[in-house]
Amino acid sequence: MVVGIDFQMPGGSYQSDPDYVLPENYPAKYVKKVVARGREMTFRPVHPGDNDLMIRLYSAFSKQTIFHRFFTSARIPPSKLSRFTNIDYVRHMAIVSEETKDGAPMITGSARYNTPKDEEGTAEMAIVIGDPWQGNGIGTALLNYLLIVARDCGFKSVYGLVHYDNSAMVKTFEAVRAGGVPYHTADTGTELKFILNLEDPVPIFAFNYVE
Ligand SMILES: CC(C)(COP(=O)(O)OP(=O)(O)OC[C@H]1O[C@@H](n2cnc3c(N)ncnc32)[C@H](O)[C@@H]1OP(=O)(O)O)[C@@H](O)C(=O)NCCC(=O)NCCS
């Protein structure tokens, strides 16, 4: 079921906080205007001032999207979403896709990686696009960009865990491989693990830079 995004929640303004001061270590070099399949958008690292925009994005996920992203049907309460916007930009990175609607910013998706404590040089990645925007090439472009950032930050590989029935994510990884990023898979017994090799430079194949 696709849930519309034009809903209201009590007390929610859904704006990036205009007074928010970016963290000192905010990696501004990764803020890029891009075009993907004719849509202009910004890819940029998330920051804590995005909390309201993230609440709006997460509130609009269908049950299937939640299940494929979080491996549970439980919806994360808005009060717990700050862990997705408050990150260190080193072991934990998140890039959001942002577009403008009626002059207001909206986050359409988010791709992130997180380095487990006992692992170095690799990280677990995950991606989610809000239901209203799925199927428009944003996921492929955002993943392509996340991989460029991950390699630039020194990662040799990233891996993603995917439900057996998640054909959209499998196709997204296949698009990444067709674009020039090799991967191999492993069956963990409960899901598929896609291990993407970042030893070689990651080609740009799913978007163009505007600036
Ligand atoms: C998987 C996901 C990130 C893909 O993002 P997207 O923006 O919809 O993907 P794109 O538009 O770039 O399409 C990528 C491929 O998936 C396919 N696809 C997109 N939506 C699909 C759907 N509902 N069913 C089947 N295939 C689908 C596209 O056809 C495309 O394949 P192609 O290159 O062979 O044409 C998105 O569907 C999503 O957020 N799903 C829920 C969360 C999730 O599964 N996360 C993965 C955890 S790692």
Q: Is the CB of 175 under 6 A from ligand 1?
A: yes
pLDDT at 187 over 80: yes
pLDDT at 42 over 90: yes
CB 111 within 8 A of CB 169: no
Higher-confidence residue of 50 and 10: namely: 50
Q: If we measure between CA atoms, which residue out of 210, 96, 86, 70 comes closest to residue 149? A: 96
Strands 122-129 vs 157-162: parallel, antiparallel or unpaired = parallel
Atom in ligand 1 nearest the alpha carbon of residue 143: 3
Residues 6 or more apart from 39 whose CB is under 8 A from it?
99, 136, 137, 138
Ligand 1 atom 7 nearest Cα: 139
What mean pLDDT comes out for the span 60-65? Answer: 94
Q: Is the CB of 15 under 6 A from ligand 1?
A: no
Q: Distance between CA atoms of 23 and 129, rounded to whole angstroms?
A: 25
Question: Which pLDDT belongs to residue 17?
Answer: 66
CA distances from 169 to 79, 81, 174 (A): 28, 23, 8
Atom in ligand 1 nearest the alpha carbon of residue 141: 12
Ligand 1 atom 14 nearest Cα: 172
What mean pLDDT comes out for the span 180-206? Answer: 97
Strands (E), 18-156: 32-36, 39-45, 92-101, 104-114, 122-129
Question: Which pLDDT belongs to residue 14?
Answer: 44
> For residue 190, which phi and psi values (nearest 5 degrees)?
-120, -20
Q: Tell me: the pLDDT tens digits for 73-130?
A: 998 998 899 999 999 999 999 999 999 988 899 999 999 999 998 888 999 999 999 9
- The neighbour count for residue 51, using CB atoms within 10 Å, is 19
How many angstroms does the Cα of residue 153 sit away from the middle of ligand 1?
A: 26
- The neighbour count for residue 17, using CB atoms within 10 Å, is 14
CB 161 within 8 A of CB 116: no
The amino acid occupying position 31 is: V
Ligand 1 atom 17 nearest Cα: 168
> Is the model's pTM score more than 0.85?
yes
Percent of the chain with pLDDT over 90: 82
Ligand 1 atom 4 nearest Cα: 139
Q: Distance between CA atoms of 6 and 21, rounded to whole angstroms?
A: 28
Q: Distance between CA atoms of 66 and 162, rounded to whole angstroms?
A: 13
pLDDT at 137 over 70: yes
pLDDT at 6 over 80: no
Which domains can be identified in the chain, with CATH numbers?
A: 28-209 (3.40.630.30)
Question: Which pLDDT belongs to residue 209?
Answer: 98
Q: If we measure between CA atoms, which residue out of 101, 85, 102, 98 comes closest to residue 36? A: 98
Q: Distance between CA atoms of 150 and 143, rounded to whole angstroms?
A: 10
Atom in ligand 1 nearest the alpha carbon of residue 129: 39
Question: Which pLDDT belongs to residue 8?
Answer: 34
What mean pLDDT comes out for the span 172-195? Answer: 97
